[in-house]
Copies of this chain bind each other. A is one copy, B any other.
Amino acid sequence: MFKRFKIPEATIGRLTSYSRFLKEADEKGVTTVSSQQIARATGVTPAQVRKDLAYFGEFGTRGVGYNPRELYNYIMKILGLDRRWSVAIVGAGHLGTALSLYKGFAERGFDITCIFDADPEKIGKKIAGLEVRSLEELSQKVKEYNVELGIVAVPAAAAQEVVDIMVGAGIKGIINFAPVNVSVPEDVVIRRVDLASQLEYLTYHLGETR
């Protein structure tokens, strides 16, 4: 029901921050939090918190606040995180290895279940307990492990080919770390993580003070 409207992308990112704060509050035994408290903990304004939540319906009690556990559960449902997701990584270089070892995925419900590479020297190696497999095995393993999400951690020149293989195997959501735009069919969601653009947020803000 709450998904009828087009939600700004930045709202999704903030919901993630709110949910982390709400989880911590709940774990500490807190039973009520205000939009001011959520705002302070996540670095936004209270008005922004209320606006973001308003996209999804009525929450909390005016003048009282929100129950952290209830709001957390609701946000996790909005984000599609009321279940676990099986994730495949393609690329067993430094970035793919770092992502395989990244502790932050499992705690949000993302299980890295398979790792692939085209390099015969990497195939068969173990990373984070998983055997690196050849791209030829991708389609079969995606079925075996019910993989729905894929992470592309290969050089720019190989990215489109890898994405095509992922899409062909039925993967519906892809994160692309390669510094290149790739195309996917309309029913596949793709997101490019541009590492340089992260630095550009800094230089923009530092520019403000020059």
Contacts and interface: CB of A to CB of B under 8 A. Distances in A.
B98 A203 contact: no
The contact size tier of chain A is 35 or more
Given A110-B196, A179-B102, A196-B105, A202 B206 contact: no
Interface string A171-210: 0111100010000000101010111111111111111111
A175 B196 CA distance: 11
A81 interface: yes
Given A108-B199, A199-B110, A205 B193 contact: no
Interface stretch (A87-95, A116-124, A131-139, A160-168): A87-95
A13 B197 CA distance: 7
- How many copies of this chain? 2
* Residue among A151, A179, A201, A204 having the largest count of chain B Cβ atoms under 10 Å: A204
A12 interface: yes
Nearest to A180: B104
Given A80-B207, A95-B98, 4 more contacts: A9-B201, A16-B197, A94-B97, A104-B194
Interface of A: 3, 8-10, 12-13, 16, 78-81, 85, 87, 93-95, 97-99, 101-105, 107-108, 110, 148-149, 151, 156, 172-175, 179, 187, 189, 191, 193-210
9 contacts: A9-B10, A10-B10, A16-B197, A79-B204, A81-B203, A104-B194, A172-B206, A174-B202, A191-B198
